[in-house]
Structure 1
Amino acid sequence: MKNEWKKCRRILCIRPDNIGDLLMSTPAIRALKQTFNCHITVLASSLGATVVPEVPEIDDAIVFDVPWVQTTGTPDPAQFSQLVKQLKDGRFDAAVIFSVYSQNPMPSIMLAYLAEIPLRLAYCRENPYQLLTHWIPDEEPYTFIRHQVMRDLELVAQVGAVTDKQQLSIRTREILWPVVCEKLLLTGLDLRRPWIILHPEVSEQKRKYPVKDWIAAGRKIRAATNCQLLITGKNNAAEAREIAAGIGGPAFSAAGLFDLEELIILIKHAPLLLSVNTGTIHIAAAVHTPVLVLYALTNPQHTPWRVTNKVLYFDVPAPLQSKNEVVKHVYRSFSAEKLPLATPDTIAEATLAMLELTAASSGSFEEPHALS
């Protein structure tokens, strides 16, 4: 059955969630492109699509906010029918549906089926019968948990797509660095002195680390190092200003200052990114910037990939915990483990240790923590 895929010249990759999710699928997308020498189109959300121009392996994108994942849009059924027609008109030879183990892939599978795409590959917990031509029974998370990158790579390997380069893919536009420097100077940052990034913005409230603890951690980092602290984000200007003011001293708000292309270069030039688990940690992994992650107890398979990193955990408030039974199963297993906690003290200690590590050694990375 793999021989059918060798003839594919136009492949649709369905990844309709967020920036970080799409970035974690880029090694698998690279495997498809390198193996089959094909044109790659991604079906992406309006949020995920913002990073598409920065991924060299992607040739084209169809932007649509589907109603079965959390997005900013709410399409009506008429728009959905138009999407099916658009996919039919694309004359795709195959569709690959990428998914998180806690997502139900069936709506995306049905979408590819209705679009009459001949070959359709996906993980699925239930038997999809004729909806998929290539069905991989989904054993996660009850049997094991893999990193999302490996989940996606092993999916496409089922049809013969492989790559020897498993790094996340993102384009860096170094020509923008002077523009970024000018904006940094406007914040008050002194480019002659060391600085690190603090990124508190989240796409979901359950991942939010308390502002008071950001401030406490920032003060301890400032006391332990000589680093300036740059607080970033897109739509969190008030929060960033509050954190910078609370930390005091060399802490500066840059929220809303950089577009995505500029943010990528900013992260590339930073010696360390301190962030909650969101798209920025995957950008950092793609550009080889060390990452310290304050990780809400949600998806263990989304930690930084193939980059120097440290993960500290914090709990999700009870009212915000997922009602998804698969996520709840993983949360219960999390609760049984002794995990390093994200407290202001441990954050400052880890920051100092990582800065010392990156100063002593460059270019090294640690493999993601094995999950079982």
Structure 2
Amino acid sequence: MSRVLVVRLDSDGDVLLAGPAVRAVAAGADEVVMVVGPRGRQAAGLLPGVDAVVMWRCPWVDGEPPPMTREGTEEVVDTLAALGADEAVVLTSFHQSPLPTALVLRMAGVGRITAASVDYPGSLLDVRLRPGDPALDPTVDLPDDLPEAERALAIAARAGHALPEGDDGRLAVTVGDDARREAADALAAHGVDGPYVVLHPGASVPARAWSPHRATEGVAALAAAGHRVVVTGAPDEAALTARVAGREGVDLGGRTSFGALAAVLAGARAVVVGNTGPAHLAAAVGVPVVSLFAPVVPPERWAPYGVRRILLGDQGAPCRGTRARDCPVPGHPCLDSVRANQVVAAVGALIYGE
């Protein structure tokens, strides 16, 4: 029996974007074990093709990294070794090195490891893709400007894993019956029994979120335009969603599991959201997205993938390409320059083709 590890140690959005690569691996493997960080666990549980999930809070990936210790590393090595995997496919973004992860996998006895690495990997990798700019280096075989889902799929393909016939390579999740019932109950409890749009004001990285006062204006403007507006958020965003929903919106902040959130998004006519996990969750359930996109990372790599979308935000703002977690520019101009009427127009264009 072949057991393959697919490693993506970032957050929910990153894990969702790895979904097509996971399905490619699953098409030829007997078992796929997804190795993720704690911030990606709930997304991994929704991906088709994943048979088991192992968590690893990785010191060189996690946004709030734990201490790097010999004891912690040995514990991870033992956990991974116990899986008895034949192979690992390590998925990283353009700014990350897979080599520390490959070292741990090698110590765990994984026999074949594939990843993309700018740096010379020595014996850490068996299959290496060289990322970069093909215009500057003709030996590059993984362009840096690929959408993140396609980058992951290219890494899996170099390892010998292709999507099965009929798979279009878009994002996808499995939403169970319990999650659908949970979502339906949450909506019904607030009297939502017809068409609605979703506005998700929060983001895991503060620099990528529309400011609360702008999001509040957005809800009011959408409601004035005749839309029923459902405001969603994680449990730790309950105060934010209550403020943003106000009297005009329906506040579901902290009232749904991640699977039920997928079901809520799936029922929406459109979703307004920043560059954060629920944007990719909306794409995974096939819903059009108004993407409030801060240019701290490139939209060609990270914008919602495979669905109709409209990007709003100043892509030439001074924060462009900084990967900043907190806005480095007073006034948050890249997103706070977006006004409620622009969001209303974008939602109308996606729903009605206006």
Q: Could you give the per-residue CA deviations for residues 126-181 of structure 1, whole angstroms, max 9, x where no partner exists?
A: 11111111111111597650001111111121132111411223111245434323
Provide the secondary structure at the position in 1 that maps to 2:342: helix
Aligned residue number for residue 271 of structure 1: 269
1:203 deviates by: 0.7
More helix by percentage: 1
Aligned residue number for residue 127 of structure 2: 134
1:215 deviates by: 2.0
Q: Could you give the per-residue CA deviations for residues 107-138 of structure 1, whole angstroms, max 9, x where no partner exists?
A: 11222222221111000011111111111111
Asked if residue 280 in structure 1 is aligned to residue 278 in structure 2, the reply is: yes
Provide the secondary structure at the position in 1 that maps to 2:188: helix
Q: 1:113 aligns with which of 106, 123, 127?
A: 106
Please give the alpha-carbon distance, in whole angstroms, between the structure 2 residues aligned to 1:136 and 1:112: 18
* 8 Å Cα contact 2:207/2:324 also seen in 1: no
Aligned residue number for residue 261 of structure 1: 259
Please give the alpha-carbon distance, in whole angstroms, between the structure 2 residues aligned to 1:178 and 1:113: 43
1:189 to 1:152, Cα distance in 2 relative to 1, 3 A: same
- Structure 1: which 5+ runs fail to align? 1-7, 329-337, 361-372
Asked if residue 183 in structure 1 is aligned to residue 175 in structure 2, the reply is: no
Structure 1 stretches (4+) deviating beyond 4 angstroms?
Answer: 140-144, 314-318
Alignment map for 1:33-72 (pairs within 5 Å): 33-34=26-27, 36-71=28-63
* 8 Å Cα contact 2:3/2:29 also seen in 1: no
Please give the alpha-carbon distance, in whole angstroms, between the structure 2 residues aligned to 1:19 and 1:99: 14
Question: Given residue 47 of structure 1, which amino acid in structure 2 is its aligned partner?
Answer: R
What's the RMSD between the two structures over aligned residues? 2.7
Provide the secondary structure at the position in 2 that maps to 1:348: helix
1:347 to 1:238, Cα distance in 2 relative to 1, 3 A: same
Structure 1 range deviating more: 173-182 or 196-205: 173-182
Please give the alpha-carbon distance, in whole angstroms, between the structure 1 residues aligned to 2:112 and 2:211: 46
1:317 to 1:228, Cα distance in 2 relative to 1, 3 A: farther
Q: Tell me the TM-score normalized by structure 1.
A: 0.82
Please give the alpha-carbon distance, in whole angstroms, between the structure 2 residues aligned to 1:289 and 1:124: 34
1:211 to 1:137, Cα distance in 2 relative to 1, 3 A: same
Provide the secondary structure at the position in 1 that maps to 2:54: strand
Please give the alpha-carbon distance, in whole angstroms, between the structure 1 residues aligned to 2:67 and 2:50: 25
- Structure 2: which 5+ runs fail to align? 137-142, 329-333
Provide the secondary structure at the position in 2 that maps to 1:62: strand
Please give the alpha-carbon distance, in whole angstroms, between the structure 1 residues aligned to 2:318 and 2:241: 22
Please give the alpha-carbon distance, in whole angstroms, between the structure 1 residues aligned to 2:82 and 2:185: 45
Provide the secondary structure at the position in 2 that maps to 1:14: strand
1:176 to 1:121, Cα distance in 2 relative to 1, 3 A: closer
Please give the alpha-carbon distance, in whole angstroms, between the structure 1 residues aligned to 2:201 and 2:213: 11
1:191 to 1:75, Cα distance in 2 relative to 1, 3 A: farther
Asked if residue 89 in structure 1 is aligned to residue 82 in structure 2, the reply is: yes
Aligned residue number for residue 139 of structure 2: none
1:98 deviates by: 0.1
Aligned residue number for residue 342 of structure 1: 338
Provide the secondary structure at the position in 2 that maps to 1:197: strand
Question: Given residue 52 of structure 2, which amino acid in structure 1 is its aligned partner?
Answer: D
Aligned residue number for residue 12 of structure 1: 5
Please give the alpha-carbon distance, in whole angstroms, between the structure 1 residues aligned to 2:180 and 2:128: 45
Q: Could you give the per-residue CA deviations for residues 274-302 of structure 1, whole angstroms, max 9, x where no partner exists?
A: 11111111111111111111011124211
Please give the alpha-carbon distance, in whole angstroms, between the structure 2 residues aligned to 1:293 and 1:61: 30
1:109 to 1:351, Cα distance in 2 relative to 1, 3 A: same
* 8 Å Cα contact 1:271/1:355 also seen in 2: yes
Aligned identity (percent) is: 22
Q: Could you give the per-residue CA deviations for residues 201-227 of structure 1, whole angstroms, max 9, x where no partner exists?
A: 111111121112112222322233x11
* 8 Å Cα contact 2:37/2:62 also seen in 1: no
Q: 1:167 aligns with which of 161, 167, 170?
A: 170
* 8 Å Cα contact 2:131/2:144 also seen in 1: no
Q: Tell me the TM-score normalized by structure 2.
A: 0.86
Provide the secondary structure at the position in 2 that maps to 1:263: helix
Aligned residue number for residue 236 of structure 1: 237
